[in-house]
Amino acid sequence: MQIRSATLIGQRTTERWEAEPGSDALSAEQAVLDTAEWIRDRLSETRSAKRLDTLCLDIDGAACSWIRGRDAETELIRSAIDGAGAEIDEDDLHGGHSTAGIAERLPALGRELDVDVLGTPDASGRAAVLAAPDAPARLLLDRLDALGVRVGRVVTLWHTIAEAWDPGAHRASESDHAGIVATDHPPAAVVLIDPESGRLIWSWSRQGELIACGSMRVRRLRSEKHESHAEVLEHDIARLAGDWLGWSAQLGVCPTRVVVVGNPAPGGMSPGEIGRALTRAWGGSMADLIPSEDPIGDTLGKTLDVRPINAFQPLAERPTRSHRAAYRWLAVVLLIAAACVAGLGVGLFNRASGTKDVITQVNQERMDALNAVAPELVLDPFPAQRLSERIAVLQRRTGDLDVDAPRPIMSELETISLVLAIPGVSVDLIEVLDTLVTIKVRVREIGEGERLDQALNSIGGSGLRWRDPSYDSRGNDQISVVYTATWPERTARTP
């Protein structure tokens, strides 16, 4: 497989490049290099000099087939293709996963083939699998990446046909802009008449998303002006309908809208006859005819104005310079993290040395304390347990010690402070001792002192016993009052 030509389509211009003929590997590699440089040179003359929005691959050598939904995994399909020539033991198929037969329906190109599962497979049904030779495309992507040209996405001609001509794709785009959510998405079929290669290229899609595709050869004619035309006959439509019938039985999908793009060759069926033949062979469908002298060019040009929907995933996920740069930065970050971890390890090692010294010091202090109390426990592995046992023995011999309960000083002080907050009372002294509580205040008249005395005696939950206050009115305009209280007798508690 090698690149024969390339076409660059923009909003205003279309340019085409032809590769020099050759059949060996060196010619194929040189064609890739020349194509990449030609694309770079053409893009350098535009505003998007470093970006190619879409890379579309021709379907020459590609094929589409079906597979069971539960087997619709790329690795399983590739394994089936790689092991197509090996003998299969029937006992190996009892697990329920078998891709036997898929390799026979796909091109035998080995590692030059990439596969992509179309749509969303249902485990209980079947799914379409698109296989395309991508060796030239991989080389072209790598070369463009080396030249600094970014590729937005990679698709095949089938993908662009679905996006460009599926009426549902345009409805979906308009609904997105209008804020409308559609509930009915009927599948549509598009048939493109390719005069250059003499092919009928068809695709099934739902809202522009490719769900099945295929192609078939038809007779190609050349006019006196050396122009190519594809002649479509009645039996070609019958072959196409038979192919669609098989796909409909496999996928459970039946398009109700058929779009035919292109101009058939004179002498064969006219566009109107093709439309009538399709509606007759594919009952219940409605056919739209779109004339075009260059259907592939018009298809590619039309995708410039539609919303991108599809992508050939194996090539769309291919690493680029940005990925490799990310890997390099990730490697740098990992090296920095490794250096940090190494530094942390050295720090922990140094701290471990200091910890050993602390442990040695603590052990020495422990031995000194045991030598002072119980020298025989110095070598005991559990000295704390032995000391606890000895203390328990002593407690049983002497009985429990009676310890006086502590005075509730803070709670009493808090309640006294609340009482002394009465307006007109100035506090000179609050003294709380273990045996006596003394408060010295100044008031304007004796009545205020008496009310304060009543407030102190009426404190709920207080254990203080307040005595009669003493009044002293000598030498100033205010009366000095002294309140004293005694604590209740202590109640012993057992520790």
Please give the helix or strand (H or E) that residue 43 lies within, else none.
helix 25-43
Tell me what pLDDT residue 343 has: 93
C-alpha span between 439 and 446 (Å, rounded): 16
Nearest-CA neighbor of 470 among 457, 453, 455?
Answer: 453
Q: How far apart are CA 473 and CA 479, in angstroms?
A: 4
Dist CA 318 CA 142 (whole Å): 9
Q: Is 222 helix (H, G, I), strand (E, B) or coil?
A: strand
Instruction: Judge residue 193's burial from the number of C-beta atoms within 10 Å of its C-beta, 0-12 exposed, 13-18 middle, 19 or more buried.
Output: buried
**Among candidates 336, 314, 192, 322, which has minimal Cα distance to 264?**
192
pLDDT at 178: 45
Report the mean per-residue pLDDT for the chain: 83
Rounded Cα–Cα distance for residues 125 and 251 (Å): 7
Percent share of the chain, pLDDT over 90: 24
Are the CB atoms for 310 and 162 separated by under 8 Å?
A: yes
Is the pLDDT reported for residue 132 higher than 60?
A: yes
The DSSP 8-state label assigned to residue 421 in this structure reads T
Mean pLDDT, rounded, for 295-320:
83
Which domains, and CATH codes, for the chain? 5-85+96-318 (no CATH), 324-398 (no CATH), 409-493 (3.30.1360.100)
Number of other residues whose CB lies within 10 A of the CB of residue 18? 9
Span 83-120, pLDDT tens digits:
654 444 444 444 444 455 666 666 665 557 788 888 88
Tokens of 152: 């937005």
Helix axis angle for 409-419 and 446-457, nearest 10°, is 140
For 143-198, the pLDDT digits (tens) are 988 888 888 888 999 999 999 999 888 654 454 444 444 456 789 999 999 998 89
Q: Where are the alpha helices (DSSP H) in 123-257?
A: 135-146, 157-165, 167-178, 234-251
Mean pLDDT of 51-59: 89
Q: What angle do CA 431, 433, 439 make, to 5 degrees?
A: 25
In contact, 236 and 218? CB cutoff 8 Å: yes
Other beta carbons less than 10 A from residue 410's beta carbon: 8
Distance of CA 215 to the CA centre of its chain: 37
**DSSP line for 383-442:** HHHHHHHHHHHHHHHH-PPPEEPPP-HHHHHHHHHHHTTSTT-EEEEEEE-SSEEEEEEE
pTM over 0.75: no
